[in-house]
């Protein structure tokens, strides 16, 4: 089955076009020169990017068609604000904007009560990130967010976590025809297996300090879910080169968080 096959009303998602990097840059050049039809082609050529993101939130609680429409809003915002002179790939720039729209939609639809102060802080953080991305073409670092908003890293983490949709401990996660395994059965002992917050903060800092190309490859591979072959085709290099960049990126991250 095609990895991008998702049932969206009125759209054959298995045959959506995918733009190469050179094609994307050419279309943005045309758009900058007043060709509005180029905008539609950029959007249509990146719908699979939206699909790859919303599949992570397709847990049966959210309507996939609604998520797709909301994700497209984020994609259009990315097209409207992308600056080719910044030197980052469009997909790298678009992912956080798409995810932000989807997360906001899910959060606003969530019945779980979150304290007003934490919710307001989360909105401030997202607003700051959107404005920073529009101006600089990249996500702000943790230090830039905390210093600009006058908050601690732990307050930042708490605000981020308030946006995450909760999952029932009775959520079925596996069934091979016999007894169903629920999330409750797989909850780890925090004393034994919990990842320290300091490690997560160090990981984020490490990603901020590696080369942009290495960071972009890690995002495309492990967040967007692209294969090495897809990345090689987009960047016009061999799969072996992508593999080396990915390995170097992982090694550099490991070195920085030690």
Residue 197 and residue 243 in contact, taking contact as beta carbons nearer than 8 Å? no
Nearest Cα neighbor of 31 from 73, 78, 87, 92 is: 78
Calculate the alpha carbon distances from 174 to 56, 183, 185, 232, 236 in Å.
17, 9, 11, 34, 40
160 vs 92, more confident: 92
pLDDT tens for each residue of 198-254: 666 777 778 888 888 898 888 888 877 788 888 888 888 999 999 999 999 998 888
pLDDT tens for each residue of 96-133: 889 888 888 887 775 555 567 777 888 888 889 888 88
Q: Give me the pLDDT at residue 195, please.
A: 47
Residue 167 and residue 106 in contact, taking contact as beta carbons nearer than 8 Å? no
Domains and CATH numbers, the chain: 175-258 (1.10.10.10)
Annotate 51-115 with DSSP letters as a single string: HHHHGGG-SSSS-HHHHHHHHHHHHHHHHHH--GGG---HHHHHHHHHHHHHHHHHHHH--S---
Distance, CA of 188 to CA of 27 (rounded, Å): 48
pLDDT tens for each residue of 3-47: 444 455 556 666 777 888 889 899 999 998 999 899 999 998 999
Nearest Cα neighbor of 119 from 152, 157, 159 is: 159
Distance, CA of 197 to CA of 190 (rounded, Å): 12
DSSP three-state, residue 173: strand
Residue 55 and residue 13 in contact, taking contact as beta carbons nearer than 8 Å? no
Q: Give me the pLDDT at residue 5, please.
A: 45
Calculate the alpha carbon distances from 103 to 112, 130, 162, 174, 193 in Å.
14, 13, 11, 25, 27
Q: Give me the pLDDT at residue 26, please.
A: 92
Residue 174's H or E segment, with its range, is strand 172-174
* Residue where the block lists tokens 């401990």: 169
CB neighbourhood size of 159 (10 A): 23
Q: Give me the pLDDT at residue 219, please.
A: 85
Distance, CA of 136 to CA of 187 (rounded, Å): 40
Q: What is the pTM of this model?
A: 0.45
pLDDT tens for each residue of 148-202: 999 888 788 777 776 665 555 545 555 555 555 655 555 544 444 444 556 667 7
Distance, CA of 32 to CA of 120 (rounded, Å): 36
């Amino acid at each position: 089955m095609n990895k991008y096959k998702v049932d969206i009303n009125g759209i054959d998602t298995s045959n959506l076009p995918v733009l190469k990097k050179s094609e994307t840059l050419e279309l943005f050049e045309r758009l900058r020169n007043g060709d509005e039809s180029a905008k539609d082609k950029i959007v249509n050529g990146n719908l699979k990017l939206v699909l790859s993101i919303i599949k992570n939130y397709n847990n049966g609680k959210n309507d996939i068609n609604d998520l797709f429409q909301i994700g497209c809003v984020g994609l259009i915002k990315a097209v409207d604000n992308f600056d080719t002179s910044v030197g980052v790939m469009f997909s790298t720039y678009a992912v956080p904007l798409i995810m932000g729209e989807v997360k906001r939609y899910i959060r606003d639809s969530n019945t779980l009560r979150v304290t007003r102060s934490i919710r307001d802080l989360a909105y401030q953080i997202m607003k700051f990130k959107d404005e920073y991305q529009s101006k600089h073409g990249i996500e702000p670092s943790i230090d830039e967010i905390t210093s600009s908003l006058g908050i601690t890293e732990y307050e930042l983490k708490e605000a981020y976590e308030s946006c995450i949709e909760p999952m029932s401990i009775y959520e079925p996660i596996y069934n091979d025809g016999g007894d169903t395994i629920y999330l409750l059965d797989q909850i780890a002992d925090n004393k034994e297996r919990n990842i320290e917050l300091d490690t997560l903060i160090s990981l984020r800092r490490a990603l901020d300090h590696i080369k942009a190309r290495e960071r972009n490859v890690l995002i495309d591979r492990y967040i967007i879910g692209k294969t090495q072959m897809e990345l090689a085709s987009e960047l016009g290099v061999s799969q072996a080169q992508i593999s080396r960049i990915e390995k170097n990126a992982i090694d550099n991250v490991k070195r920085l968080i030690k």
